Chains A and B, each alone.
Chain A
Amino acid sequence: MKKDVVTEKMLSRRNFLKTAGEAAAVAGLATTGIPLMTGQAQAACDALPKKWDETYDVVVIGSGFAGLAAAIEAKNAGAKDVAVIEKMPVHGGNSIINGGDFGAPGTKLQKENGVEDSPELMLKDMLRAGMYLNHPELAKTVAYGAKDALEWTESYLGCKYAKLNFHGGHSVKRAHGTINQSGSEVVNKELAKAKEIGVKIQMRTKVVKFLSNKEGRIVGMEVRKGYKFPDDKSGKTAFVKARKAIVLGSGGFSYDVALRQIHDPRLTDKLGSTNHPGATGEALLAACQSGAMDVQMDWIQLGPWTSPDEKGFGYTPLFCEPLVGYGLMVNPKTGKRFFKETGNRKERADAILLLGNPAVIMGDSYAVNKQVVPHALKGGMGIGAIKKFDTLDDLAKAYDMPVDVFKEQVARWNSFVEKRQDDDLGCMIFKDAKPTVVAPFYAAKLWPKVHHTMGGLVIDKNAQVMGFDFKPVKGLYAAGEVTGGVHGAVRLGSVAMADCIVFGRIAGKNAAGEKNWS
């Protein structure tokens, strides 16, 4: 009986691949007529190629935090040949444009700053923000593994963290800011380490399809080498064999307008994204086509701290986020505060969208000089997204606010800061916050952009990808934003780095531990 089920499943998967291949061939022919000549259509029909162009023990897809952590750990766990493939011409994906905050509890930097924290508390925060949709075991793995992962980046990779930051939705300050306030500090050092220990890095190589053998195990993939994003016809077909396993660290799909609209029809091309343009979902979908199950794909996070006055992520988040709990956020139409500044991303983005117009975040010189890194301030002002004003009156007028109401709000906020309690909206007010009185004042407009896709592939706590039959998709691991379930409905700021490094390392180790299939 059991045997029959397996055969049936196997057959259906093979049939599916075959049909998909034929469909692709017909589609290709209809548009250009080229695939006939290259013989590519032929290969797509075969379950496995006669000859593999390249063979590795472990192949990792994606060169961000998760992918590179997986590659390093796979190599160190004994996988001989490890390769990372990246479809873009540059490494790092979203990680290299990430703001560089690593959430971890109970660390040295927290102790130095007098912050009491624990994995239990971090998990509690993650679950509360995630509306308890988080897969508890996955969230727990991140919360309890974050400190060790952070220390690994320090002691093994040589990353430096300079400052403890706060992100909305956390109970305490637990975001460890890299020395350059960018994820590049970590991802560049991961890349250097990976190269140093002999991991092969291949840019401009895009996954087309995962290939499974008769037993339904993933054994390799069809790729396009020399791929020029975003031209799907660029590059040459090649077949890459993975003796042990493939690790997906290919990131989310915030920039994939078609895919994100399938799951959340509001997210049309009218909404910008903070992501790099390659944050599209082909590798994720390819995994689904090979039997991997997806989960919570419609929980797509909007960043509440982006500016309509600049492109992408920009400088404004690095201005806004350190200012919450030190300065105030107002609706320029009324001149009044409307939502707690230290609320989580979803709460704040929804509140701003509900206004129907951009909000304004502001701080005085004391708060800005203390909290905002100079390059972000300078950059944001250079672009015109952050503005400087000598008086509160000037600030109010610049954003068409009712001057008196606004000044009254500032006075009211200041009274809350004095007594460390916000009676109106329950905003957290930090110990070293001071009333907003020191000129000049700085302000920026806020309007949400698509930031993170919480949903993705189902994995277990070993980073093993699970199939639609609730069984492991053998030979396929995944880590980071391509997976779903860790964050539930809302990913808290600074937990992406923790997620990627924790699960990237687990995925790499376990991939290396697989038995060779041939």
Chain B
Amino acid sequence: MKKHLEKKSMRGIVTLLSMVIVFAVVQLLWAAPKLDISKASVKGGDCSACHVQKKMLPDKHADTKTMNWEACKACHNKDNLSLTGKLPNSHHHMLADVNCVKCHGKTKTPEALTMEQCVACHGSTAKLAEKTKDVKPTNPHTSPHYGTDLDCNLCHHQHAKSENYCAQCHKFDFKTP
């Protein structure tokens, strides 16, 4: 009886262990590189500093190690090789010298931010809405529902692909940077 129980619990542990291993492997494959906030001083163009042992750019791409956002723009602009929606916004920030600490502060456990943080640098959303008033088919920065109060991060994600939040209900074909 006892033996039987032991056998059963062993089998349980083995199953659990294998599940944990599978889970860990899946995590490794899919997750973004583990963010180490101590790497805050890393330059945005130094891909391998965070993406260890993984090639992020095409073979023929110029060396970006010392580049900043301005330098990227020499080749990538709105009409040619646009990076809109291709590069996570956090990278854009890093390339413009806005590193982890500048938004999240000095912490080992960075937390999600409120939009006050965005507005502090980027200016008020009312002003932004004025700037985008002629965007077709409608101004993305104001709505009859929320006015200009909608949180920036609902569309403009930093550590994931940005999305068009309006598209849940509307047929607005916005390209969200």
Contacts and interface: CB of A to CB of B under 8 A. Distances in A.
Interface in B113-162: 137-138, 144-147, 150-151, 154
A89 B23 CA distance: 28
Nearest to B172: A383
Given A33-B19, A310-B171, A180 B144 contact: yes
Nearest to B136: A382
8 contacts: A33-B23, A36-B16, A90-B151, A92-B145, A180-B144, A184-B146, A226-B112, A311-B167
Contacts of B112: 226
B170 interface: yes
B169 interface: yes
A313 interface: yes
Interface of B: 16, 19-20, 23, 112, 137-138, 144-147, 150-151, 154, 167-171
Given A33-B16, A33-B23, A379-B138, A277 B168 contact: yes
Contacts of A180: 144
Contacts of B150: 90
A518 interface: no
Contact of B169 (A29, A32, A188, A276): A276
Contacts of B151: 89-90
B84 to A, nearest CB: 23
Contacts of A33: 16, 19-20, 23
A276 B168 contact: yes
Among B145, B146, B167, B171, the most chain A Cβ lie within 10 Å of the Cβ of B145
Given A276-B168, A277-B168, A188 B147 contact: yes
Given A33-B19, A90-B151, A310-B171, A184 B138 contact: no
Contacts of A188: 146-147
Contacts of A181: 144
B9 to A, nearest CB: 14
B170 A312 contact: yes
Given A311-B170, A379-B138, A32 B23 contact: yes
B82 to A, nearest CB: 25
A233 interface: no
A182 interface: yes
B169 A311 contact: yes
- Of B20, B147, B154, B170, the most chain A CB neighbours within 10 A belong to B170
B145 A184 contact: yes
Contact of B145 (A32, A96, A277, A375): A96
Contacts of A314: 169-171
